[in-house]
């Protein structure tokens, strides 16, 4: 019996596995590009896996869409620490009188490239090995490109990434250091996506479908398992900086999966509070518009685009194409979007350095600033466990690191 099948989210059609999905050009016969995996496995084993030590993503091999362990490509990603940051709890209590427990997911300590994209790259590289994929391409502003370049290099798979002209030079250098190809286009992220799609169509090279990519979703949904393993429960509030928003989609999928597979499971979707910096905030602007209008019919499809002025290249999704999926998830959870000031991030990073002894990356600071903004806006309440899904360290953002340390 097959371990899993993929199912189209539009028409429900069954697709045998990722091998068939790749052969179909990563589209259902109905034209939909979004599928979800459903597993025919014993979920009782998950209780055992959600206790004790985990070394990497493939601790959950039985609940990932792979058949052969010998194809696994891992660099210690996925099982990252979740730390209680007492200084954030103290701040919440002293300034706002809110007694909460902020828990930070330290993706900067991932064994791959130090970002939350490593899980997707590890699963992708493993799947490509399993099905004999020789080349892969994506458009990216940074973290995905770096992660896939590292993991595909480990798997011996050629990788080509198309990037906007304002991409961080540190990111380009990291990709090329792994022996992979970075192509800088004359334009923004939209131009990079267009160039990647044209290359994929002309050469037949497999290309990611973006934030709805089932590889990304299936890998990132293991965050639900990690909450159960490390915290013994799900958080009340889930926070992250958002550009496209794969992780919120994956979190929702993981919870629905367990609730559907385990009769006694009644997991509640955490309230999602997603942050963007004021220099590139299309989802926040769209949310504010829809909130003021009372969420009329079809609201999720009426989103706005912006012209980014941000220096945070990995958060430059000016046209929020994933908003029709992410916006309704935020609303279903009872959550919100918040805007933070980019100019405040360096000073906040100095605060983190003084308390924790390391400098997060700028996108991570958008998330931490979002926690402070959520407190100010009354979005976090007494007794709540707050997950701060911090993204990356500052290793590939030398401009931000220099800005922070010049006043330490």
Reported as a single tens digit per residue, the pLDDT across 293-320 is 999 999 999 999 999 999 998 898 889 9
pLDDT, tens digit, 9 for 90 and up, residues 122-155: 999 999 999 999 999 999 877 888 999 999 999 9
* E-assigned strand segments in 187-328: 206-207, 237-241, 271-277
Q: What is the pLDDT averaged over residues 316-338?
A: 95
pLDDT, tens digit, 9 for 90 and up, residues 34-67: 999 999 999 999 989 998 899 999 999 999 999 9
Above 80 in pLDDT, residue 263? no
Is residue 1 very low, low, confident or very high in pLDDT (cuts 50, 70, 90)?
low
pLDDT, tens digit, 9 for 90 and up, residues 197-234: 999 999 999 999 888 999 999 999 999 999 999 999 99
Name all domains of the chain by residue range, CATH numbers in brackets: 82-110+215-405 (3.40.50.1100)
Long-range contacts of 298-307 (CB under 8 A, 24+ apart): 299/327, 300/324, 300/325, 300/327, 300/328, 303/327, 306/280, 306/281, 306/282
pLDDT of 393 reads 85
Q: What is the pLDDT averaged over residues 154-171?
A: 92
Average model confidence (pLDDT) across the chain: 94
Residues 6+ apart with CB under 8 A from 405: 359
pTM for the complete prediction?
Answer: 0.94
pLDDT of 36 reads 97
């Amino acid at each position: 019996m097959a371990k899993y099948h993929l199912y189209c989210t539009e028409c429900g059609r069954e697709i045998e596995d990722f091998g068939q999905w790749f052969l179909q050009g990563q589209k259902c016969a109905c034209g939909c590009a979004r599928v979800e995996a459903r597993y025919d496995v014993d979920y009782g084993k998950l209780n055992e896996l959600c206790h004790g030590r985990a070394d990497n993503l493939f601790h959950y091999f039985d609940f990932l869409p792979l058949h052969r362990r010998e194809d696994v490509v891992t660099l210690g990603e996925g099982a990252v620490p979740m730390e209680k940051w007492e200084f954030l709890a103290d701040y919440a209590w002293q300034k706002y009188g809110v007694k909460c427990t902020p828990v930070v997911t330290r993706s900067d300590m991932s064994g791959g490239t130090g970002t939350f994209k490593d899980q997707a790259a590890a699963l992708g590289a493993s799947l490509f090995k399993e099905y004999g994929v020789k080349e892969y391409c994506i458009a990216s502003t940074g973290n995905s490109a770096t992660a896939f370049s590292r993991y595909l290099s480990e798997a011996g798979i050629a990788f080509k990434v198309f990037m906007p002209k304002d991409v961080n030079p540190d990111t380009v250098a990291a990709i090329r250091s792994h022996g992979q190809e970075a192509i800088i286009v004359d334009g923004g992220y939209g131009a990079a996506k267009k160039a990647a799609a044209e290359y994929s169509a002309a050469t037949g090279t497999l290309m990611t479908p973006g934030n709805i990519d089932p590889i990304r979703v299936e890998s990132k949904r293991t965050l639900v398992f990690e909450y159960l393993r490390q915290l013994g429960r799900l958080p009340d509030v889930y926070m992250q900086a958002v550009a496209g928003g794969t992780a919120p989609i994956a979190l929702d999928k993981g919870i629905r999966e367990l609730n559907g597979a385990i009769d006694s499971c009644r997991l509640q979707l955490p309230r999602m509070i997603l942050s963007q910096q004021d220099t590139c905030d299309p989802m926040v602007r769209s949310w504010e518009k829809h909130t003021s209008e009372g969420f009329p019919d079809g609201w999720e499809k009426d989103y706005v685009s912006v012209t980014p002025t941000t220096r945070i290249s990995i958060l430059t999704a000016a046209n929020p194409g994933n908003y029709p999926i992410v916006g309704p998830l935020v609303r279903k959870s009872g959550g919100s979007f918040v805007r933070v000031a980019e100019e405040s991030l360096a000073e906040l990073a100095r605060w983190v350095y003084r308390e924790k002894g390391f400098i997060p990356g700028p996108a991570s600071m958008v998330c931490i600033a979002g926690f402070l903004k959520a407190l100010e806006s009354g979005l976090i309440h007494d007794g709540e466990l707050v997950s701060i899904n911090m993204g990356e360290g500052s290793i590939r953002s030398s401009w931000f690191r220099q800005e922070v340390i010049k006043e330490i």
